[in-house]
Chain A
Amino acid sequence: MRLAPLNERDTMSTVTLNGIYKKFDETEVLHNINLEIGEGEFVVMVGPSGCGKSTILRLIAGLEEVTQGEVLIDERVVNMVEPHHRNIAMVFQNYALYPHKSVRENIIFGLKRAKVAKDIIEGRLKKAAKMLELEDLLDRRPSQLSGGQRQRVAMGRVIVRDANLFLFDEPLSNLDAKLRSRMRVEIRRIHREYKTTSIYVTHDQVEAMTLGDRIVVMKDGRIEQVGTPMEIYLNPVNIFVATFIGAPAMNIIDAMLYLGFIEVEGQKIALNNRVEKIPVPASGRRVKLGIRPDFFIDEKNTEHGASLSRIENALVDIVEPLGFEREIDATIGSQHIKAKLDLRTTAGEGEKITLCFDMDRVHLFDPETGMRL
Chain B
Amino acid sequence: MHKRRSFIQNIMLAGAVVLLLLFCLFPFIQILSTSLKYQFDWGNPSLIPRKINMDAYRELLGFSATKEVEIPESIKRLLDNPLLKEEQKQKILERYSSTADIFPFARYFINSFLLSAGAAAVSLVLAMFGAYSFSRLRYRGQKIMQRGVLFVYMVGGVLLLVPLYQMGVKTGLASTVWGSVLSLLLIYIIQTLPVSLYMLGNYFRTIPYSIEEAAAMDGCSRLESIYRIILPLSVPMMVTVFIYCFIIAWNEFLFASVFLRQFPDFHTLPLGLQSLFVSRNAIWDRIMSASILTLLPVVICFMFAMRHLTGNLVEGGVKE
Partners in one complex: yes
Segment from A44-52, A136-144, A346-354 that makes contact with B:
A136-144
Instruction: Tell me whether B125 is interfacial, beta carbon within 8 Å.
Output: no
* A142 lies within 8 A of B317 (CB): yes
With contacts A94-B208, A96-B211, A174-B319 known, is A82 near B218, CB below 8 A? Answer: no
Q: Give residues of chain B (303-320) contacting chain A, Cβ–Cβ below 8 Å.
A: 313-319
Return the chain A residue nearest B212 by Cβ. Answer: A96
A296 at the interface (CB under 8 A from B): no
> CA–CA, A63 to B217, complex, Å?
9
The range of chain A's interface size is 20 to 34
Q: What 0/1 readout, one digit per residue, does chain B (204-224) give for beta carbons within 8 Å of chain A?
A: 000010110111111111001
- The residue among A89, A95, A142, A157 with the most chain B CB atoms within 10 A of its own CB is A95
Tell whether, in the assembled complex, residue A84 and residue B232 are in contact, meaning their CB atoms are under 8 Å apart.
no
For B, the interface residue count at a CB cutoff of 8 angstroms equals 24
In whole angstroms, how far apart are the Cα atoms of A292 and B300 in the complex?
A: 74
Supposing A90-B214, A96-B208 touch, asked if A84 and B219 sit within 8 A by C-beta, the answer is yes
CB distance from B153 to the nearest CB of A (A): 33
CA distance A62 to B222 in the complex (A): 13
B229 CB within 8 Å of chain A: yes
Are B232 and A100 touching (Cβ within 8 A)?
yes
- Cβ contact within 8 Å between A157 and B218: yes
Taking a contact as CB atoms under 8 Å apart, the answer to whether A61 and B217 are in contact is yes
Option from B210, B314, B315, B316 in Cβ contact (under 8 Å) with A92: B210
Contact B318 A95 (CB under 8 A): yes
Asked whether A83 and B217 contact (CB < 8 A) given A94-B210, A98-B211, A98-B229, the answer is yes
Interface stretch among A107-115, A182-190, A196-204?
Answer: A107-115
In the assembled complex, B282 has its CB within 8 A of some CB on chain A: no
CA distance A63 to B212 in the complex (A): 10
Contact B214 A84 (CB under 8 A): no
B216: A residues at CB distance < 8 A: 62-63, 82-84
Q: How far in angstroms is the closest Cβ of chain A from B319?
A: 4
Cα of A211 to Cα of B219 in the assembled complex, Å: 28
Q: Say which residue of B210, B214, B316 sits within 8 Å of A150 (CB atoms).
A: B316
CB distance from B317 to the nearest CB of A (A): 4
**B213, B217, B229, B314 — most chain A CB neighbours (10 Å):** B217
What are 19 A-B pairs with beta-carbon distances under 8 A? A84-B216, A84-B217, A90-B214, A92-B318, A94-B318, A95-B319, A96-B208, A96-B214, A97-B316, A97-B317, A98-B214, A98-B317, A99-B211, A99-B316, A109-B215, A114-B219, A144-B316, A150-B316, A174-B319
